[in-house]
């Protein structure tokens, strides 16, 4: 028997595990095996726990920090002995950056599962279209040039990060270059999980650089960023197995949302190229 309030409790438990705890296991425990998941991204559609697990693990790897959520309105409709629907609107934001808040609305269907526990069988999240004017019922079919450029730039960076043997890495322009951003491909490429990578480098980008290359990296990045120019150089990056790969780093200075100076780099594995060069040198010497 589905009791009134039971579905809302299940929904709150789910979002606490998903957004605040960022705990994949507890998040999945709130869902049925046949969960239908439709997120705010155009390609964020999943059917079944396996597909949802892939989506949330990728999300947690890229954005591991907790999100806070403030419910604006939440309503529950019990439709029978075994199911209920929940509709709510809420605002979510990174725990330390409330200014980056996102307003969204969610519709969920909850059911009594085979073990008698109330679980979520479907999730549909949406956000308002920025191009839709207040009082209208459909979004504008076109994007303005500024927003189009932002979206294309974001897509281009995402494709770039996925198409090279390496990825994207960013640090604050402070001693040791505290980690600002790393896409999920770099830790995986080096043999780590995201959490392992952050722990091994102690949260500082300089610690993934070979000790003999660190002074050079710090000197080049600091000097080039003082003049505002792009930088490009090669160094050795640490792998989980204790070996190092040679990488080429191309980057530029930027600014984070809180106004701190950062550097964002595209990092590409060039170990094969370095090995080929050294081989040619040896052959020439012989």
- So what's the pLDDT on residue 38? 83
Domain boundary among 111, 126, 141: 126
156 falls within a domain: no
CA distance 261 to 253: 7
Residue 165 has pLDDT above 80, yes or no: no
Residue 155 falls inside a structural domain: no
pLDDT at 229: 65
**CATH number of 19's domain:** 3.10.450.50
Whether residue 258 contacts residue 97, with contact meaning beta carbons closer than 8 Å, is answered with: yes
Same domain, 94 and 17: yes
Residues 183, 113 within the same domain: no
Taking residue 212's Cβ as centre, other Cβ atoms within 10 Å add up to 10
Query: What was the pLDDT predicted at 180?
Result: 87
Whether residue 174 sits in one domain with residue 99: no
Residue 237: exposure state from Cβ atoms within 10 A (0-12, 13-18, ≥19): buried
| Whether residue 25 is found in the same domain as residue 100 | yes
pLDDT reported for residue 23: 93
Q: Do residues 225 and 113 both lie within one domain? A: no
pLDDT single digits (tens) 101-124: 888 889 999 999 888 899 999 999
Confidence of residue 44 (pLDDT cuts 50, 70, 90): low
Is 10 in the same domain as 122? yes
- When comparing pLDDT for 285 and 2, which is higher? 2
256 is in which domain, residue-wise?
A: 164-277
Q: Is residue 64 part of a domain?
A: yes
Q: Does residue 70 belong to any structural domain of this protein? A: yes
Instruction: Give the number of domains in the chain.
Output: 2
- Please give the Cα distance from 119 to 115 (Å, whole number): 10
Q: What percent of the chain has a predicted confidence (pLDDT) above 90?
A: 35
Q: Is the pLDDT of residue 42 over 90?
A: no
At 46, the pLDDT band (50, 70, 90 cuts) reads: confident
Total Cβ atoms within 10 A of residue 42: 6
Of 126, 156, 189, which marks where a domain is finished? 126
Q: What is the pLDDT of residues 207-257, one digit of tens each?
A: 999 999 999 999 888 875 445 567 788 999 999 999 999 999 888 877 777
8 Å CB contact between 104 and 127:
yes
Task: Say yes or no: 184 and 267 in one domain.
Answer: yes
Does the pLDDT of residue 204 top 80, yes or no?
Answer: yes
Q: Based on the domain organization, do 122 and 170 belong to the same domain? A: no
Residue 19 lies in a domain: yes
In contact, 71 and 90? CB cutoff 8 Å: yes
**145 phi and psi angles, rounded to 5 deg:** -60, -45
Alpha helices in 138-202 (DSSP H): 145-163, 185-190, 194-200
Is the domain of 191 the same as that of 272?
A: yes
Tell me, yes or no, if the pTM score tops 0.75. Answer: no
Higher pLDDT among residues 45 and 25, named by residue:
25
Average pLDDT value for residue range 136-157: 46
Is 139 contained in some domain?
no
250 in the same domain as 194 = yes
Between CA 218 and CA 230 the distance in angstroms is 14
CATH number at residue 186: 3.30.450.20
């Amino acid at each position: 028997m589905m009791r009134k309030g039971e579905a809302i409790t299940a929904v709150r438990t789910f979002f606490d595990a998903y957004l605040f705890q960022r705990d994949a296991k507890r998040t999945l425990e709130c869902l049925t095996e046949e969960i239908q998941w439709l997120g705010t991204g155009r390609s964020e559609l999943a059917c079944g726990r396996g597909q949802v697990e892939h989506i949330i693990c990728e999300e947690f790897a890229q954005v591991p920090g907790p999100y806070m959520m403030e419910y604006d309105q939440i309503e529950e409709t019990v439709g029978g002995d075994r199911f209920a629907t929940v509709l709510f609107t809420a605002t979510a934001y990174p725990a330390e950056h409330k200014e980056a808040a996102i307003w969204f609305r969610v519709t969920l269907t909850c059911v009594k599962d085979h073990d008698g526990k109330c679980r979520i069988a479907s999730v549909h999240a949406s956000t308002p279209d920025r191009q839709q004017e207040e009082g209208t019922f459909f979004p504008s079919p076109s994007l303005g040039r500024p927003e189009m450029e932002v979206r294309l730039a974001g897509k281009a960076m995402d494709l770039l990060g996925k198409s090279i043997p390496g990825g994207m890495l960013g640090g604050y322009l402070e001693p040791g270059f505290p980690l600002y951003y790393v896409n999920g491909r770099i830790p995986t490429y080096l043999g780590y999980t995201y959490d392992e990578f952050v722990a091994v480098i102690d949260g500082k980008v300089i610690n993934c650089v070979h000790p003999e290359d660190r002074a050079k990296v710090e000197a080049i990045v600091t000097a080039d960023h003082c003049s505002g120019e792009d930088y490009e150089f090669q160094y050795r990056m640490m792998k989980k197995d204790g070996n190092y790969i040679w990488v080429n780093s191309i980057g530029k200075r930027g600014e984070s949302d809180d106004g701190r100076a950062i550097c964002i780099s595209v990092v590409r594995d060039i170990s094969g190229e370095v090995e080929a060069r050294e081989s040619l040198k040896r052959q020439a010497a012989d």
